[in-house]
Amino acid sequence: MVPVGIQTAGIGGLGFQELLLIVLAAVVLFGGKKMADLGKGLGEGIRNFKSALKGDEESAAEVKKDEVEAKR
């Protein structure tokens, strides 16, 4: 039971200010380019994972083919 006057916030008790501080620290440590690459890689991984869960092998192969062509 949470005592009166104490509130938990956000994800796992982290509020907006804490999350903002973490994001800013990551950008300072790794730089904007690395963060963009990390986000892109994470998005591609999630997309491939979802297509694999659906069992759509052809779709996953097409996505990979499009990604390779885009890098050229």
Q: Domain count for the chain, please give it.
A: 2
| 58 band by pLDDT with thresholds 50, 70 and 90 | low
pTM comes to 0.46
The full length of the chain comes to 72
Q: How many CB atoms lie within 10 A of CB 68?
A: 9
Residue 42 lies in domain: 31-71
Question: Does 26 share its domain with 43?
Answer: no
Give strand pairing partners of 14.
Answer: 11
pLDDT score for 41: 92
Q: Are residues 36 and 64 in the same domain?
A: yes
Using one digit for the tens of pLDDT, what is the confidence trace for 1-56?
545 555 555 556 778 898 899 889 988 988 888 888 988 999 999 998 888 888 76
Could you tell me if 41 and 51 lie in one domain? yes
State residue 8's pLDDT score. 54
Task: Tell me, yes or no, whether 22 and 35 share the same domain.
Answer: no
